[in-house]
């Protein structure tokens, strides 16, 4: 029996673009700054539970290219549990016996399966090589490096999620740690190990050769970027068959990108790595004003942008530790930005600061961005503290990006039409002149 997937409905009521025309808005000004966003954007509602719909829970946007979709990401996505800490003492590294003192190095509270269940689809990782030389997830600050879990264990969880939940696309972005570098060949060897083990126990997956893991989607730099649907091999307009084989085999895919810091052994050709298709705000930024300044520059260019910033560290995770409590993120520096709206004296929350960075005239000024400039990713730490807000914003940004892309296509088609008309008009006089000469 043929099952037609239901027609995708319009974006839910209330998921309107954030524009200055909204009736109720919060106005924030620091000298010449002003931004507009709905009060409802700052309200807390119950935690959003994903339904695992195709195309990362947004089947209506399957046809968006990956650099026009919107990805919610987690900084240090494997840092929920610290296994070992090495500290630098008098020029040499020594193992710390007090791991709890370094809890401030954690940037997430949940393990990768829980993150993916929540709806995170951009996983940011820092990798190190430990004494046994296998890649480890790690976090470093000053004179301490925390080793968290083997990269292989992390991959096994991530890949199992793809087997359990079809038609999902995940980005894994790898950052190298200069303290203990890992090379690309080591990473790809681990990927092959995990893939072989998973393929052997997954129905419908045939044996594959090294470098051909079927769960990895590699972007061809010579081709236009694919849509979400193309990455996972799903077309919402095509009939889907019920019965045996419907969700058998490889149904979800992972795109693996990395920073430029990774070493590639001489002569080694990477097979699984793709170049990031976005420009990130990621920098050793210490203050909110620096993030705003960088966004102001980026948002004037026709590019896909990822905003990377740390939200406030949950006090419950600090256990009274003074250093931990001071580890406020870019969006958590409550002294940085204070709205001057009517009757307002308290600083904006994490949510307000993020929106300020996006809508302030001294920052991104999303309401006036060029036609091809778009926000495609937001990656934060302790995302669950603001998850409902982020999911609501994701739906709005998806709608805005979809509308912008339609305008871009329309503009490009108009230019092509004008070009054809111009070429046709140039040919017409030449043909008339040729006919005159013959007469």
Q: What does the pLDDT look like over 191-216, one tens digit per residue?
A: 999 999 999 888 888 887 889 999 99
**Domain range list for the chain:** 25-45+278-425, 73-276
Cα 390 from chain centroid?
Answer: 12
* Element spanning 52, H or E: none
pLDDT at 342 over 50: no
Is residue 170 within 8 Å of residue 123, measured between CB atoms?
yes
From residue 277, alpha-carbon distances to 299, 300, 435 in Å are: 16, 17, 53
Give CA–CA dist 259/251, Å, rounded. 27
- Tell me which of 16-30, 147-161, 277-291, 397-411 is least confident: 16-30
Closest alpha carbon to 155 in 167, 172, 169? 172
Cα 143 from chain centroid?
Answer: 29
Residues 390-431: tens digit of each pLDDT: 999 999 999 999 999 999 998 888 777 777 777 777 766 655
Q: State the pLDDT at residue 291.
A: 87
Residues 63-111: tens digit of each pLDDT: 999 999 999 999 989 888 788 888 877 777 778 878 887 887 888 889 9
Is residue 123 within 8 Å of residue 77, measured between CB atoms?
yes
* Element spanning 100, H or E: none
Contacts of 328 (CB under 8 A, 6+ apart): 310, 312, 313, 334
Is residue 330 within 8 Å of residue 283, measured between CB atoms?
no
Closest alpha carbon to 275 in 201, 218, 196? 218
Beta strand 144-150 with 122-129: parallel, antiparallel or unpaired? Answer: unpaired
- Tell me which of 54-63, 313-322, 368-377 is least confident: 313-322
DSSP-based three-state secondary structure for 175? strand
Q: Residues 385, 47, 166, 153: what is their CA dihedral angle, to the nearest 10 degrees? A: 40
Of 339 and 85, more confident: 85
Q: Which residues pair with 378 in a beta bridge?
A: 72, 307
pLDDT grade for 33, boundaries at 50, 70 and 90: very low
Give CA–CA dist 432/437, Å, rounded. 9
Is residue 227 within 8 Å of residue 245, measured between CB atoms?
no
* Element spanning 95, H or E: strand 92-95
Cα-Cα end-to-end distance for the chain: 70
């Amino acid at each position: 029996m043929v099952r037609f997937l239901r027609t995708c409905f319009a974006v839910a009521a209330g998921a309107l673009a954030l524009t200055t025309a909204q009736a109720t808005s919060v106005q924030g000004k620091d000298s010449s700054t002003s931004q507009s966003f709905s009060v409802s954007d700052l309200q807390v509602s119950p935690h959003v539970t994903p339904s695992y719909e195709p195309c990362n829970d947004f089947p209506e946007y399957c046809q968006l290219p990956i650099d026009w979709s919107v990805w919610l990401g987690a900084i240090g996505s494997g840092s929920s549990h610290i296994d070992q800490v090495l500290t630098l003492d008098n020029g040499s590294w020594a193992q710390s016996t007090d791991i709890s003192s370094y809890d401030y190095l954690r940037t997430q509270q949940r393990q990768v399966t829980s993150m993916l269940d929540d709806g995170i689809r951009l996983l940011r990782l820092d990798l190190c090589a430990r004494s046994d030389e296998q890649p480890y997830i790690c976090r470093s600050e000053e004179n301490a490096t925390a080793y968290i879990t083997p990269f292989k264990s992390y991959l096994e969880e991530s890949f199992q999620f793809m087997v359990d939940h079809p038609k999902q696309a995940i980005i894994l972005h790898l950052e190298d740690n200069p303290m203990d570098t890992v090379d690309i060949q080591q990473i790809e060897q681990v990927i092959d190990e995990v893939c072989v083990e998973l393929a052997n126990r997954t129905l419908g997956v045939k044996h594959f050769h090294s470098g051909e893991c079927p769960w990895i989607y590699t972007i061809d730099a010579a081709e236009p970027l694919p849509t979400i649907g193309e990455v996972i091999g799903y077309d919402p307009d095509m009939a889907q068959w019920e019965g045996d084989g419907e969700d058998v085999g490889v149904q979800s895919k992972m795109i693996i990108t990395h920073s430029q810091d990774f070493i590639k052994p001489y002569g080694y050709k990477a097979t699984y790595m793709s170049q990031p298709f976005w420009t990130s705000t990621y920098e050793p930024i210490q203050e909110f004003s620096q993030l705003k300044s960088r966004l102001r520059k980026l948002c004037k260019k026709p590019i896909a942008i990822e905003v990377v910033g740390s939200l406030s560290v949950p006090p419950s995770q600090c256990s009274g530790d003074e250093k931990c409590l001071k580890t406020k993120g870019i969006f958590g520096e409550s002294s940085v930005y204070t709205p001057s709206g009517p009757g307002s004296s308290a600083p904006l929350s994490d949510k307000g600061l993020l929106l300020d960075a996006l809508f302030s005239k001294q920052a991104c000024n999303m309401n006036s961005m060029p036609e091809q400039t778009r926000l495609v990713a937001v990656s934060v730490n302790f995302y669950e503290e603001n998850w409902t807000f982020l999911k609501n914003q994701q739906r709005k940004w998806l709608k805005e990006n979809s509308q912008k892309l339609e305008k871009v296509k329309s503009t490009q088609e108009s230019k092509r039409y004008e070009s054809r008309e111009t070429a046709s008009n140039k040919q017409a006089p030449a043909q008339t002149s040729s006919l005159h000469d013959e007469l």
